[in-house]
């Protein structure tokens, strides 16, 4: 420290002796005190500064340490949720029906970019984006949260991935991710049952924010739709390291989500394939059920469609082609097709009359070939009539006039109640969407909807025509209940995550002798002389089948044309021909399977549907594990070649 010299004082001279030493000490002490005060001030200032720094350091490291550490981590990392793998679906034999395969896709983290549109445009120069891609990106940009990455392009090739890797420095926020896409090994064969998945729409995202995650798909049909909650799973997380420009430098940590549940269906895929092959090019549907527990072994609707078309979004051209096809490939005819049951309805009318004590099995009714009521003539399918016949013969010959009279005698309410008990009226609880309910109306039900009911409506209902409608699934359920006398419920789900689904059907509210009378008539249809379905006899030793034919008109035939004897419905255009139906169960003495077949515009159930049902039943019995040891290889070979 320097002191300014005082010019007014005499120059300093060195003194000697005690006085001189004392004088120096006082001056030195005076200068030292000034130094000490200033040093203390500086020291205090330094201490204050250091204290302030220490306080801030304490707050940063101790008080707010975790928070600031997390902020620092977020500045160098990016965390996001990832879509879980969708649950897989198997058949009863362990065959994969719906699985997942890798799907390489390009994503962009919006919060890591300053100009999303520029990034998208730059990306499009490397991997082309079509108009649908751009519209989707723009839509997602408006509705998806900023921390959720947007999907730029799915199903990238290795060349696409390589080009994007080379251009990564110019694509801030863009990353390559691998997810899964749905795979359906059997495509058209199981499309109506398994259904398909599609990208979620705005309503899906609003209901559940998880649906905005890249790779999330929503079931839109079949099991994929009805079991969405089981199949969806729980999302996982991935943490990535990014630089100051938002470029992804690497993946730090990945926690995979919880996959969806593993579903096992009651279907037998091999049997399903055989049924489809049997149907061929027909527009038809067929259902095979286990009579004992309601397990649906086969459910075919033709024609079908390829469900993989919907995974990435179907084009307008493809969609228009599907919806304009008059054969309705998108409709699952087995559960959504409504048809008049025709003469397959007659066992239900018989049970209704027996339960109401309106008839007895031995009582005879005369059939001259027609039935007149109120000035209207109702014809039998045989213009020569069947004479005086009882219930067994009426079912065997499928006499219309017999059932006209029975329907009038027991009344429509009794018919409705019996049909509902047998599964022909109302919905059935199978695990498929868009299923339609059969309808067996009553006069009261019609009047509530403002419609008139007359005696002719009851007469037509007696042979399964007029206002009565049902589905092939309901017909198979009906056949199962007739066969076993139990309230069998059809179902497709066998287990969820290895938890088996058990069923124990209750007995039907029909007397055993009434059920036996109906079954006896159905046995005669196939096995006795002059039955309407000799073509349905099985070529298996010791195995007999019971069944019922049906032909359902789709348009009225003028009375004069009918009575002329020259009418042949096969001469009509295809869309005006009657539907051909057949229901059956086998073995007769110990029912195991029930089958229903509906061939649209097939004309006659006896010639078109019955032989087809016999082939399908043979396939089901041969594949039955209980029969594989009892049937010889020669019998199996003949059964497999039944249609040759």
pLDDT per position as a tens digit, 383-433: 899 999 999 999 999 999 999 999 999 999 999 999 999 999 999 989 999
What is the per-residue pLDDT for 26?
56
Closest CA to 491 of 479, 477, 478: 477
**Strand 263-265 to strand 89-90: parallel, antiparallel, or no bridges (unpaired)?**
parallel
Token pair recorded at residue 475 = 């017909």
Rounding to the nearest 10 degrees, give the CA dihedral for residues 634, 639, 641, 644: 120
What is the per-residue pLDDT for 25?
55
Q: Residue 560, SS3?
A: helix
Query: What are residue 175's DSSP bridge partners?
Result: 107
What is the per-residue pLDDT for 564?
52
| Exposed / middle / buried, residue 247 (Cβ in 10 Å: 0-12, 13-18, 19+) | middle
What is the per-residue pLDDT for 238?
72
What is the per-residue pLDDT for 558?
55
Residues carrying an active site annotation = 343
What is the per-residue pLDDT for 451?
85
Closest CA to 371 of 327, 408, 324: 408
């890798």: which residue's tokens? 102
| Exposed / middle / buried, residue 101 (Cβ in 10 Å: 0-12, 13-18, 19+) | exposed
Q: Say if residues 329 and 305 touch (Cβ distance below 8 Å).
A: yes
Closest CA to 353 of 396, 404, 305, 393: 404
**What are the residue ranges in the chain where pLDDT is below 70?**
1-35, 68, 70-78, 144-147, 240, 242-251, 311-313, 555-571, 626-644
**Own/partner long-range contacts of 563-569 (Cβ < 8 Å, ≥24 apart):** 563/379, 563/383, 565/383, 569/603
d(C-alpha 96, C-alpha 184), whole Å: 9
């891609």: which residue's tokens? 133
Closest CA to 216 of 194, 197, 229: 197
Q: Say if residues 395 and 386 touch (Cβ distance below 8 Å).
A: no
């Amino acid at each position: 420290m320097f002191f300014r010299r005082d010019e007014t004082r005499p120059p300093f001279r060195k003194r000697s002796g005690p006085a001189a030493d004392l004088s120096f000490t006082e001056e030195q002490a005076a200068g030292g005190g000034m130094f000490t005060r200033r040093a203390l001030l500086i020291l205090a200032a330094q201490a204050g500064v250091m204290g302030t720094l220490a306080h801030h350091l304490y707050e940063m490291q101790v008080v707010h340490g975790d928070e600031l550490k997390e902020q620092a981590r977020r500045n160098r990392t990016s965390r996001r949720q990832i879509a879980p793998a969708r649950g897989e679906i198997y058949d009863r034999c362990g065959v994969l029906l719906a699985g997942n395969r890798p799907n390489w896709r390009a994503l962009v983290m919006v919060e890591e970019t300053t100009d999303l549109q520029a990034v998208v445009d730059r990306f499009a120069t490397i991997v082309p984006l079509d108009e649908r891609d751009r519209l989707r990106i723009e839509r997602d940009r408006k509705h998806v949260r900023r921390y959720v990455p947007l999907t730029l392009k799915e199903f990238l090739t290795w060349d696409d991935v390589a080009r994007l890797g080379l251009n990564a420095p110019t694509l801030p926020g863009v990353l390559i991710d691998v997810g899964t896409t749905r795979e359906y090994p059997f495509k058209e064969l199981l499309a109506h049952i398994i259904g398909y998945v599609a990208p979620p729409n705005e309503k899906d995202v609003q209901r559940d924010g998880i649906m905005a995650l890249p790779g999330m798909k929503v079931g839109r049909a079949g099991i994929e739709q009805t079991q969405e909650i089981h199949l969806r799973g729980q999302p996982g997380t991935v943490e990535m390291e990014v630089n100051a420009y938002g470029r992804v430098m690497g993946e730090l940590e990945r926690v995979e989500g919880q996959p969806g549940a593993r579903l096992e269906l009651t279907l037998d895929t091999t049997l399903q394939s055989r049924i489809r092959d049997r149907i061929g090019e027909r527009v038809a549907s067929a259902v095979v059920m286990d009579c004992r527990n309601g397990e649906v072994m086969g459910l075919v609707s033709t024609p079908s469609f390829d469900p993989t078309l919907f995974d990435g979004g179907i084009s307008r051209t493809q969609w228009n082609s599907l919806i304009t096809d008059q054969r309705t490939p998108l409709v699952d005819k087995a559960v959504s097709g409504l048809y008049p049951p025709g003469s397959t309805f007659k066992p239900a009318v018989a049970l209704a009359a027996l339960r109401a004590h309106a008839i007895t099995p031995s009582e005879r009714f005369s059939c001259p070939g027609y039935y007149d009521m109120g000035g209207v003539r109702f014809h039998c399918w045989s213009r020569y009539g069947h004479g005086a016949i009882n219930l067994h013969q009426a079912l065997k010959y499928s006499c219309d006039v017999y059932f006209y009279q029975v329907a009038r005698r027991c009344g429509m309410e009794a018919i409705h109640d019996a049909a509902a008990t047998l599964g022909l009226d109302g919905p059935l609880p199978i695990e498929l969407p868009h299923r339609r309910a059969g309808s067996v109306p009553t006069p009261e039900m019609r009047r509530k909807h403002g419609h008139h009911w007359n005696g002719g409506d009851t007469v037509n209902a007696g042979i399964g025509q007029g206002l009565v409608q049902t589905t092939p699934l309901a017909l198979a359920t009906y056949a199962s209940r007739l066969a076993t006398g139990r309230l069998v419920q059809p179902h497709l789900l066998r287990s969820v995550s290895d938890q088996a689904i058990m069923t124990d059907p209750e007995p039907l509210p029909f007397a055993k002798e009434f059920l036996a009378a109906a079954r006896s008539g159905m046995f005669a249809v196939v096995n006795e002389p002059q039955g309407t379905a000799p073509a349905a006899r099985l070529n298996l030793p010791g195995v007999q089948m019971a069944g019922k034919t049906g032909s359902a008109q789709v348009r009225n035939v003028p009375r004069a044309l009918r009575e002329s004897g020259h009418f042949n419905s096969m001469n009509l255009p295809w869309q005006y021909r009657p539907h051909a139906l057949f229901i059956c169960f086998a073995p007769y003495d110990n029912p195991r399977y029930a089958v229903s077949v509906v061939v649209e515009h097939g004309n006659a159930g006896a010639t078109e549907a019955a032989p087809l049902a016999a082939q399908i039943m043979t396939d089901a019995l041969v594949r039955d594990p209980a029969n594989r040891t009892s049937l010889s290889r020669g019998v199996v070979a003949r059964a497999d070649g039944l249609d040759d």
